[in-house]
Amino acid sequence: MTMPDANYVSANGRTTNLLNLSCAFAGAVLAGFLLTATLACAEQPRFTDELQGKVVSVADGDTVTVLVNKEQVRVRLDGIDAPESNQSFGARAKQALSGLVFGKTVTIKKTGTDRFGRTLGVIMVGDLDANAKMIEDGWAWHYKQYNQENRLAQLEDAARQAKRGFWADPAPLAPWEFRARQRTPGPVPETSDGSPLAYWLNVSSGVRHNSTCEHFGQTKRGRSCGPDEGRPCGKCGG
């Protein structure tokens, strides 16, 4: 039996290894490309329908009513969460959204329906994305729990760094945290005799909060007070 030439076997082995490495590299590149494409698609909202109509009312910073073919459609702006109406900056957020869309003909790029039966979508005023604009101007948070768009995350970071809108506040309260507090109130500070406090005075600002307020007992410098001390909070009435 003729033995194979040693040099031939060595060269063939190197060739085989090079081919294996090339295939592995090509596979890795392809896998990376597919992963990137998948992530990019996942970041983009999927539009299921497109509606056009006139905005006839603005409920708050992320909910409007649009008249579509003589039918009122309640629309919740997808990907954002604005302060609640009874929360700090709630009125400002509503005013900001009103300035963008109220009385205007808009296009709603529908992404779905929420558990309250509202249409979820992106509201376009011409080429302006109202959802993104609310985040960019600091009047809404990027609602990361339900939206993973990197574009919106970057707009929120920029607004925070520039201290636009509610980001001018050192520690603005996210609306989902505000709603959680409303559902499950935290422990109320107590006086020395163990009775619950009814009023809390922010010593730094001189503003008085009652026990229903989000700021009650939360200020760095504060104390219990009477119903006539300080200035009443603009939200809870003190």
Give the residue numbers annotated as catalytic, written as ranges: 76, 84, 118
Alpha helices per DSSP H over 137-219:
150-162, 175-183
Here the tokens at position 203 are 């010593």
Which candidate, 207, 228, 215, places its Cα nearest to that of 89? 215
Amino acid found at 36: T
Amino acid found at 84: E
Which candidate, 87, 195, 99, places its Cα nearest to that of 141? 87
To which H or E segment does residue 199 belong?
strand 199-202
Other beta carbons within 10 Å of 63: 18
Residues 6+ apart with CB under 8 A from 158: 136
